[in-house]
Amino acid sequence: MAYQEAESLESWLNKATHPTNRQEDWEYIIGFCDQINKELEGPQIAVRLLVHKIQSPQEWESMQALTVLEACMKNCGRRFHNEVAKYRFLNELIKVLSPKVRPSLTTA
């Protein structure tokens, strides 16, 4: 059952962050937030999915994922906040900005 839940969250996030979106798609962003709140393991699964999208080499997909993260922070409550506050998540965000991991940032 957890696999189906992850796929459902993944489907919402894929639609919310699709690289061909011309602008943020708030129907899917809020749908993703609502799905997180409905599922027992929603926050844990969502944070893993968001990290992957935030680390995308496609800049627009990554930016949309950050918008989704912001919406989640405003709409998903304590369980989501607890997941985001873990070192695991913060370390993954550091990788996005670290020149050791992304050498292209040092040439910009």
Task: Provide the residue ranges of all domains of the chain, joining segments of one domain with +.
Answer: 2-107
Please indicate whether residue 11 or residue 5 has the higher confidence score (pLDDT). Answer: 11
Q: What pLDDT is attached to residue 98?
A: 80
Q: What pLDDT is attached to residue 95?
A: 87
When pLDDT is cut at 50, 70 and 90, the band that residue 20 belongs to is very high
**Is the separation of the CB atoms in 16 and 32 below 8 Å?**
yes
Q: What pLDDT is attached to residue 1?
A: 45
CATH class of 2-107: mainly alpha
CB-count exposure of residue 28 (10 Å: 0-12, 13-18, 19+): buried
pLDDT tens, position by position, 35-79: 999 999 999 999 999 999 999 999 999 999 999 999 999 999 999
Q: How far apart are CA 103 and CA 84, in angstroms?
A: 26
